[in-house]
Amino acid sequence: MQLQRQFSGQLITIDTNTAIASGGEGRIYPIAQDPSLVAKIYHRPTDEDGDKLTVMFSMPPDAPIAEPGHASIAWPLDLLHTIGGREKIVGFVMPRVTKVLPIHTFYTPKTRREQKPLFNYLYLHRTARNLAAAVNALHMRGYVIGDVNESNILVTDTALVTLVDTDSFQVRDPYTGYVYRCPVGKPEFTPPELQGQTFRELDRAPEHDLFGLAVLIFQLLMEGTHPFSGVYLGSDEPPPLEARIRSGHFPSGTKPIPYRPMPAAPPLEMLHPRLRQMFLRCFEDGHGNPAARPDAKTWVNAIREAEDALIICSKNSQHKYGNHLSRCPWCDRAKLLKGRDPFPSPQAVRGGLHLQPMKKQRKKPQPQPPVRDSVARRQQSVTGLPRQLGQYQPPLLPLPMSSRTRVAPAIPLTKVERIVQDTAWGSVWGGLCLAAVAGVFWALTEGGGAILGAIFVGSIWGSFFGMIWGIFTLSPNQVLRKWGGVLVGAVWGAFFLAALGGGVFGAINHNPAIGQAILSGVGVGTVWGLVWAVFQPPLALPIGRVWGRRGAFLGAVWGAFLGTLAGVCLGAGLVLWQQYSGEARSAEQFAGLLLGVAIVAAGVGSLGGMVSGAFLGFCGFAPKLPISFQPSGVRGGALGAIWGSFLGAIVGAILGAGLSAIVPAVGAGLSVELAPVAGAIVGSGLGAIWGVVSGTVWGALGKW
């Protein structure tokens, strides 16, 4: 089977006889051209599947863990469509995950002791922390997992976590409001307010995920014990687990309920005090008020605090426990389990002692009260990964975790933090840009030889660094890209030295015009960074059936960009034609007229292009955007210019119209009715031109 990647255009061949895994929705196949990727092909692909995948591709979550070769979330990297005839999306490309096992292998004492005996309590904390970081990254981007369960979370020997089956997540299209729901869920991880409901008919929220996340963290830190399993104290048949969840019967909690904790379960007091408090908030306070459940970022911080409080047992280095305890709970637990140490020492593992049966003690048989518990966990993996049961060789020690930066999650920025960061960078870029423009202008008009010399030196140094970058980062057959690096380095070097020279020239000569230009650039750049961060333009918009509201939006984006270019070209062409057809003007008059006409023409073109493009897009004439996954370089610059003109034109029109209406001097010479219109046109032109320039730079740098 031959398919094509939607955004990169690469043709790939799928051998249908080499499926890695198979499920109800589709099969997963290796990609021969790139062993680090796999393809998921649907059994019965629909147009809705394609639209959902396109939205997911356009807005990927931030990676919470920057580990080479590791994907915290197996997100779609590209879409796959058929070749020839009507192109139909039939699947997607995602990272290949290797050397992993389902999370229940690690939190279940028996399977952990058999398969990963050196995965200690510190590693379980780190697993819980990385899991919470991945969930936080999804929630920060507006996604909801929905079907939180132990089979869709894979873990490595070093506690790195990967969330799989991402195409089943609940996805909301931010431009149409349509929700692609998650139709399934496991009762063991479903919050009380959703128990017994039909998932296909409801929209889920992050607080629903937070219940399942807390259940998994509880199981990781409490030896696989489900928080709602316990010994039933009533005389009738014990209720099923979902009924206990619905009723909020948390056996380790503070409220009186007809259950007591399981005899073999660790006591809740073994956990760090802050973690105990958070479990009570989730399972007791959150029972009637889902908003009271701790969010994923709060879990990350709490688990980090608990992890830092772990100390090492003097008898067994694999025993790690909280410093709030007076003695090692794992030594006591090993005695309770008659020699079956939950975290055996390396010496015991090398000798195979961790696999020996439980020690039997001879004593008189005594009648035991019946323990009634109907909890039956499903421990079968649906990932297709082999489970090595039977005889085991002494495993190697897992990779050391002493380096925190190796596996510690980097918490994604919040919305406010992202806005502040992008606004700050926008102000820096705006100030540098206007400083460079002012420096070059004054060098040409006032004869600033020092600035021209600085620009020359900057281009030389930039070329040198660009060449070094090309030598050390590119392969020998990428000659053109190496020379491209030299060219880019020369441009950047000249830009920075021009900005520096302009600023120094203005300060030495006490030139207020340069200072005003730099401050204006800072102000415009601040607005630009704020708009970019708040809007967060997507990488793609749904393709195939692009019409209606989606088509109108995409058409408006294209219309603003093309209208801006057309307006600038036509306006500048008109002034040039007049200049060289007999109406010659002085250089100063010519430059002022050229700039003024270009701005007005860009404003008319961008606003007119938005209106006409929206109309054509509504009818179905909206082309797709020139994009690739997380673009930078030429493609990123093109995409940034398109989005920049659209955002800049809108913001400029609003600011121009507002200033013209509020400040009479801005619209001097015009009537009260026409001043806002003229202000909107001029502001739109300035914003669109600035947006094209700034968007090109931001997109080329991969600022998405």
Check 147, 165, 167, 173 and give the catalytic one: 147
CB-based contact 454:494 (threshold 8 Å): no
* Exposed e or buried b per residue across 478-499, where buried means at least 16 C-beta atoms within 10 angstroms of its C-beta: eeeebebbbebbbebbbbbbbb
Give me 624's structure tokens: 């797709």
d(CA 495, CA 489): 10
CB-based contact 533:419 (threshold 8 Å): yes
Q: For residue 92, what is the enclosing H or E element?
A: strand 89-95
| Residue keyed to tokens 């660009």 | 466
Give me 167's structure tokens: 């195409």
d(CA 575, CA 2): 53
**3-class DSSP state of 331:** helix
State the DSSP code for 283.
I
d(CA 111, CA 104): 8
* Exposed e or buried b per residue across 332-362, where buried means at least 16 C-beta atoms within 10 angstroms of its C-beta: ebbeeeeebbbbbbeebbeeeebeeeeeeee
DSSP bridge pairs for 93:
39, 78
Q: Which residues contact 316 (CB under 8 A, 6 or more apart)?
A: 328, 330, 331, 341, 343, 344, 345
User: Is 147 an active-site residue?
Assistant: yes
Per DSSP, the residues of 506-563 read: HHHTT-HHHHHHHHHHHHHHHHHHHHHHHH---S----SS--HHHHHHHHHHHHHHHH
CB-based contact 671:661 (threshold 8 Å): no
Give me 239's structure tokens: 């209720």
CB-based contact 342:114 (threshold 8 Å): no
Give me 690's structure tokens: 């600035």
Residues with catalytic function: 147
